[in-house]
């Protein structure tokens, strides 16, 4: 394995590492000397009851979500202690690209959403002494973790706000994950994961980026050339400058590891496969947010699950950025998402 300059504090800003030591995964493997990368904002109060957990999406790090943290925003670090944990496999935590030996690279063991949540629970519990969370929120795979938190540790989660993500990956979304993984790992340069340098696999990474562009943003964004509002000069320039630019510096094995985790996301594993029973375990007050034009985590997918949750409401946000509205490319999207967070945090529980 080579060092990858993308997965550094230079690229993503400072972060901390929590030693998970020998961390046994749900599928049975042990990640030895594993660590969880995270970033905090604000101060934990004496009662340790002002914490917010904000897990991240596929291919994202704490840096991508930190824009939602600010003293004028719902996630106000002057009031709350905000923790953004990075995913296992995400590149800053223990991941295929930074693991040596039997579990390095493509031999990295299968992770589950539950593994991330258990690692985060360990951090909160052992390192910070946090027993209650004001809010768990996250987008996409961050929403998967949000659901897992609310179902696995119902007494700890006061409020939960999953954004464009599901408690159980749908069959269609599973097909989407397969399609973009195949776009990547069909590149002969991937070599079953034994490439020398991540950027040898640039063709596969570009193909994967275009699958994300096709399914992640809306038809309107392309057909009305709305990319021009964001500094792009043509469809090709938008594909290259936004989508390919996002994925090209990343490590293929890290991405494939996270994708497998995404595909297997399913809180009904706690209740013998019964999704409704699993969602009935939730005690949190919930606001379920969907993006109307999202083609891989659809409004209907989010709505279906929300209807099984007792103390919940549903909000659908219309934006040409579809699934990627969360990136806040449009200031309007950012504002409405922030207002959802504000509303749930203000709600009595």
Nearer to a second copy, 211 or 287 (CB): 211
Q: Can you say whether residue 169 is alpha, beta or left, with left for phi > 0 and alpha for psi between -120 and 50 degrees?
A: beta
**232 near a second copy, rule: CB under 8 A:** no
Tokens 């709505």 label which residue? 303
Of 38-46, 66-74, 192-200, 217-225: span binding a second copy (CB under 8 A): 217-225
Of 25, 44, 143, 213, the residue at the interface with a second copy (CB under 8 A) is 213
Residues 288-327, one symbol each (x = binds a second copy by CB under 8 A, - = not), give -------x--x-xx--------------------------
The active-site residue out of 59, 112, 140, 319 is: 140
Is 16 among the catalytic positions?
no
Bridge partners (DSSP) listed for residue 317: 291
The sign of the CA dihedral 28, 33, 38, 44 is: positive
**101 near a second copy, rule: CB under 8 A:** no
Is 323 among the catalytic positions?
yes
Among 165, 159, 157, 153, residue whose Cα is nearest residue 58: 165
Contacts of 164 (CB under 8 A, 6+ apart): 139, 140, 143, 289, 290, 291, 294, 297, 302, 323, 325, 326
CA distances to 73, 317, 329 from 342, rounded to whole Å, are: 8, 15, 20
3-state SS track over 249-280: CCCHHHHHHHHHHHHCCEHHHHHCCCHHHHHH
**332 near a second copy, rule: CB under 8 A:** no
Instruction: Compute the least distance from the CB of residue 25 to a second copy, in Å.
Output: 26
Of 182, 200, 313, 342, the residue at the interface with a second copy (CB under 8 A) is 182
The active-site residue out of 93, 323, 325, 333 is: 323
- Active site residue ranges: 140, 294, 323
What is the binding site for a second copy (CB under 8 A)?
170-172, 174-176, 178-179, 182-183, 186-188, 203-204, 207, 210-211, 213-215, 219-220, 222-223, 225, 235, 239, 295, 298, 300-301
């Amino acid at each position: 394995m080579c060092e990858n300059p993308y997965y550094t504090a230079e690229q993503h800003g400072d972060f901390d590492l929590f030693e998970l030591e020998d961390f046994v995964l749900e599928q049975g493997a042990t990640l030895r000397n594993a660590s969880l990368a995270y970033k905090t904002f604000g101060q934990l109060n004496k009662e340790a009851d002002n914490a917010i957990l904000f897990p991240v999406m596929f291919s994202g790090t704490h840096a991508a979500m930190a824009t939602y943290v600010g003293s004028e925003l719902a996630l106000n670090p002057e009031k709350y202690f905000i923790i953004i944990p990075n995913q296992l496999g995400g590149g800053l935590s223990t991941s295929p690209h930074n693991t040596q030996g039997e579990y390095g690279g493509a031999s990295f063991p299968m992770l589950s959403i539950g593994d991330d949540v258990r690692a985060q629970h360990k951090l909160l519990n052992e390192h910070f002494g946090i027993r209650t969370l004001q809010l768990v929120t996250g987008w996409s795979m961050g929403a998967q973790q949000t659901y897992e938190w609310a179902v696995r540790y119902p007494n700890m989660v006061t409020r939960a706000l999953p954004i464009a993500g599901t408690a159980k990956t749908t069959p269609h979304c599973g097909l989407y994950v397969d399609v973009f993984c195949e776009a990547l790992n069909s590149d002969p340069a991937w070599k079953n994961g034994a490439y020398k340098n991540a950027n040898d696999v640039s063709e596969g990474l570009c193909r994967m980026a275009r699958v994300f562009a096709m399914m992640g943003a809306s038809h309107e964004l392309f057909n009305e050339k709305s990319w021009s509002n964001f500094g792009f000069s043509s469809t090709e320039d938008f594909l290259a400058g936004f989508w390919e630019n996002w994925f090209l510096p990343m490590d293929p094995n890290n991405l494939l590891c996270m994708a497998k985790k995404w595909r297997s996301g399913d809180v009904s594993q706690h209740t013998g496969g019964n999704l409704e029973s699993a969602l009935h375990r939730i005690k949190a007050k919930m606001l379920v947010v969907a993006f109307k034009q999202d083609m891989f985590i659809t409004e209907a997918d989010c709505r279906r699950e929300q209807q099984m949750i007792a103390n919940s409401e549903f909000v659908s946000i219309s934006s040409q950025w579809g699934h990627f509205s969360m990136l806040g490319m449009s200031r309007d999207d950012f504002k409405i998402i922030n207002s959802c967070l504000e509303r749930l945090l203000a709600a009595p529980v």
